[in-house]
Chain A
Amino acid sequence: MTFWSDPDGFLANWLIHLLAGIGIPAGIAQAIGYALGAAVLSTGALLFVLFLIWLERKMIGRVQDRLGPNRLGPWGIFQSIADMLKIFTKEYITPDGADKVPYNLSPILTVGAVIMVWAVVPLAITVYGVDLNVGLLYIIAVGSLGEMGILMAGWGSNNKYALLGAFRAAAQLISYEVPMVLSLLIPVMLSGSLNMNKIVQHQDIWYVLFAPLAAFIFFITSIAEVGRAPFDLTEAESELVAGFNIEYSGLKFGMFYVADFLHSFTISLLVSVVFLGGWRGPGAEASPLLGFVYLILKTSLVNFIIIIERASLPRFRIDQMMDFTWKVLTPVMLILLVATALLEKTMAMAGLVPWMRSGILFILNIVLLFVADTVVRGHLARRPRPDVRGKERPVARPENYFSQPGSGV
């Protein structure tokens, strides 16, 4: 066992031997090793957020035909470090009317819940936090904890807009949880395991080729779970001032910001682990470092799509958002689940090789996507639209030429 073939095990071994040398029993040394590993992984994740914030600001700047941050360091890359130093010296307050315990606990819980997901994600062939046999269930369970944090923020702020944001968050998150969990059933079905490592190792053919529609639905619903545009109704500034985090200031607000960026990167990580083959690629079994590079490349690609989509799509209305999950995603996902289960079992009994099975399932997914798309489009086209053109609208300055009827405006 050398450092390059198994860095995780090598360092753990080295640490246990080091601690045994100064007379610490193996059990306690193991626990210390765990604590150090957890600290390194979560600190690494938190520091990585600084880079993500810079990346997203830069990219959204480019989309909006601006330069983005460009003053501090090459391409402004140190801008978020300066921002972090500044926000550490900013005063934060607890409003008098607030419910102190949920108000102060909520930023901690929101960030903590996102970091917890990283405990079971395999980063390379031998590099992972823990090889948990119910890893996927753990991710689903812990992922919902952050929403608890948003609810606590809304309720604890003692503020009507924050409370409205929290209510919307609760409705949105429980609704999008249904198709998300259903779409995760398909990788579990194909690999026969809830273990994240087994799911990655089983992907000789990426699961996105077995179930592109499930991967797509998982991607969409994950964005909704994070509460990013176009699903950012919890912080719709045109309706709710700032949403659930109005009353927060200083680093307490900064924590929500960190949680948002880290969560969006974490869901990109989950999409690439569960559907895009994780660390797998040519030569990744021999070298964990190479596997890690593959994983980061795949994750960056997914994260890139999330950022571009945030920059380009307008926000949903709340009834559209609820309709989308309950009347489109959930039925489509249930039908896809039934069809995949039936077809995959029949093909496995007929003895088809994996690439043929994946091809047939791929076609099934695409057909289902087009059928669903046609049905939804047809329904939207038939829906009666209220005619607003003939209505008299109150205007602030009736004598203004541009607001007069017949002026073509």
Chain B
Amino acid sequence: MLSNWLYIGIFMVVALFLPAAAIFIAGLLAPKKANSIKNSTYECGIETVGASWIQFKAQYYVFALVFLVFDVETVFLFPWAVAYNQMTLFGVLEAIVFILILLGGLVYAWRKGALEWH
């Protein structure tokens, strides 16, 4: 069991190492003739105006909040789904009530206009 996670750990290191190594090798092979014009921000081809790291639309937060509800929901639903085959009808009905409450939440967010993209 623990050795499974050792494999995952090694795999993650290898998976990150390979693209990093490729970029490093390309850096060795490729010419390096940087100048200030080349290194300026390209954007769309003309000179950039104003700062890029600015405040952004609050609507992204609304979607993130709705997402959070459903993400936490799936955290609860995955253990239920694993145990589904051993469950009685009562256990299934309980989970269904839980899902229906969340469906109600989705309908509420919908009616409130939280799901409209402006």
Please report A residues at the B interface, Cβ cutoff 8 Å: 30-31, 34-35, 37-39, 41-43, 46, 87-98, 107-109, 111-113, 115-116, 119, 129-133, 137-138, 155, 157-161, 163, 167, 170-171, 174-175, 177-178, 181-182, 185, 188-189, 192-194, 241, 246-247, 250-252, 255, 258, 318-319, 322-323, 326-327, 330-331, 334-335, 337-338, 341-342, 345-346, 348-349
Whether the Cβ atoms of A158 and B41 lie closer than 8 Å is yes
Residues from chain A with Cβ under 8 Å of B30 in the complex: 88-92, 250-251
Whether the Cβ atoms of A129 and B39 lie closer than 8 Å is no
A30-B3 CB under 8 A given contacts A90-B30, A112-B15, A334-B99: yes
Residues from chain A with Cβ under 8 Å of B100 in the complex: 338
Contact of B22 among A38, A167, A251, A318 (CB under 8 A): A251
Whether the Cβ atoms of B85 and A34 lie closer than 8 Å is no
Contact of A334 among B43, B81, B106, B115 (CB under 8 A): B106
Contact of B92 among A161, A250, A331, A345 (CB under 8 A): A345
Give the A-B contact count at a CB cut-off of 8 A: 218
Residues from chain B with Cβ under 8 Å of A98 in the complex: 41
Report how far A41 CA is from B15 CA in the complex, Å: 10
Output the nearest chain B residue to A40 by Cβ-Cβ distance. Answer: B14
- Is B112 an interface position by the 8 A CB rule? no
Which label, helix, strand, loop or mixed, suits the secondary structure of the A interface? helix
Report how far A167 CA is from B31 CA in the complex, Å: 33
Report how far A88 CA is from B22 CA in the complex, Å: 8
Output the nearest chain A residue to B23 by Cβ-Cβ distance. Answer: A251
Report how far A99 CA is from B63 CA in the complex, Å: 27
Residues from chain B with Cβ under 8 Å of A93 in the complex: 34, 38-39
Residues from chain B with Cβ under 8 Å of A247 in the complex: 41-42
Whether the Cβ atoms of B67 and A241 lie closer than 8 Å is no
Report how far A338 CA is from B8 CA in the complex, Å: 34
Residues from chain B with Cβ under 8 Å of A137 in the complex: 78
Residues from chain A with Cβ under 8 Å of B20 in the complex: 108
Contact of A138 among B8, B56, B70, B83 (CB under 8 A): B8
Residues from chain B with Cβ under 8 Å of A112 in the complex: 12, 15-16, 18-19
Whether the Cβ atoms of B92 and A342 lie closer than 8 Å is yes
- The smallest beta-carbon distance between B29 and chain A, in angstroms, is 5
Report how far A88 CA is from B29 CA in the complex, Å: 7
Report how far A193 CA is from B82 CA in the complex, Å: 5
Report how far A168 CA is from B115 CA in the complex, Å: 15
Q: What are the 6 closest A-B residue pairs judged by CB atoms, nearest first? A: A251-B26, A319-B117, A115-B15, A111-B19, A112-B16, A188-B81
Residues from chain B with Cβ under 8 Å of A170 in the complex: 60
Whether the Cβ atoms of A119 and B74 lie closer than 8 Å is no
For this complex, 27 residue pairs linking A to B, each with C-beta atoms less than 8 Å apart, are A46-B18, A89-B29, A90-B30, A96-B41, A108-B16, A108-B19, A109-B16, A115-B18, A132-B4, A132-B8, A133-B4, A137-B78, A159-B41, A178-B74, A181-B74, A182-B74, A185-B78, A241-B43, A247-B41, A251-B26, A322-B115, A322-B117, A326-B66, A331-B103, A342-B93, A345-B84, A345-B87
Whether the Cβ atoms of B14 and A107 lie closer than 8 Å is no
Whether the Cβ atoms of B18 and A43 lie closer than 8 Å is yes
Whether the Cβ atoms of A129 and B7 lie closer than 8 Å is yes
A192-B84 CB under 8 A given contacts A35-B14, A170-B60, A178-B71: yes
- The smallest beta-carbon distance between B6 and chain A, in angstroms, is 6
Interface centre among B32, B64, B117 (most CB of A within 10 A): B117
Contact of B42 among A31, A35, A159, A337 (CB under 8 A): A159
- The smallest beta-carbon distance between B55 and chain A, in angstroms, is 12
- The smallest beta-carbon distance between A191 and chain B, in angstroms, is 8
- Is B108 an interface position by the 8 A CB rule? no
Residues from chain B with Cβ under 8 Å of A341 in the complex: 84, 92, 95-96
Whether the Cβ atoms of B16 and A38 lie closer than 8 Å is no
Report how far A341 CA is from B77 CA in the complex, Å: 12
Whether the Cβ atoms of B23 and A108 lie closer than 8 Å is yes
- Other than the given A112-B16, A255-B19, A342-B96, 7 more pairs (CB < 8 A) read A88-B30, A89-B29, A93-B39, A111-B15, A252-B23, A258-B19, A342-B92
